[in-house]
Amino acid sequence: MAKRKYSESDIKKALSDVDNQIEGMVDEFINRRKKAFVKAAQDLRNRIEKQTIEFTELLAEGKITPEIFEMLVKQSAAEAKIHILEQSVVSRAKFDELAQKVAIRVAKTLIPIVLGAL
């Protein structure tokens, strides 16, 4: 077995440099997701407001019963929950992409160190 020509400190130094790059990648990920969540929350609030006003007007005009009003409000809440869950699935997929980018960055950093030392 060939003796390695790189040291543990070489790897630690390289990974330390990667840490700084990872921090930038994470900051970018968080900022993008934050913008998406803020937009989704604003859209959701606007939709709930519009629906609630419509439901309230229908109730006040006697076009729906209090029971139907309650059912419509609950349905609106269920739709909101689905929308939030959709955002969480998107976030999970985006986080998986970030994890892949980090793994690739680590590999691309260490391969030249290890292979160059052989």
pLDDT at 39: 86
Instruction: Yes or no: say if 5 and 112 are a contact pair by the CB < 8 Å rule.
Output: no
pTM over 0.85: no
pLDDT at 56: 94
Tokens of 96: 């998986």
Instruction: Yes or no: say if 90 and 36 are a contact pair by the CB < 8 Å rule.
Output: yes
Total domain count, the chain: 1
In a domain, 118, yes or no: no
pLDDT at 117: 59
Q: At residue 24, does pLDDT exceed 60? A: yes
Distance separating alpha carbons of residues 59 and 118, to the nearest angstrom? 79
Between these two residues, 3 and 99, which has the higher pLDDT value? 99
In a domain, 2, yes or no: no
Residue 71: name the closest of 55, 57, 84 by CA: 55
The residue segments making up the domain with residue 17 are: 8-112
List, for residues 61-104, the tens digit of each pLDDT value.
999 999 999 999 889 888 888 887 887 787 788 888 888 988 99
Between these two residues, 16 and 61, which has the higher pLDDT value? 61
pLDDT at 42: 87
Q: At residue 55, does pLDDT exceed 90? A: yes
Averaged pLDDT score across all residues of the chain? 85
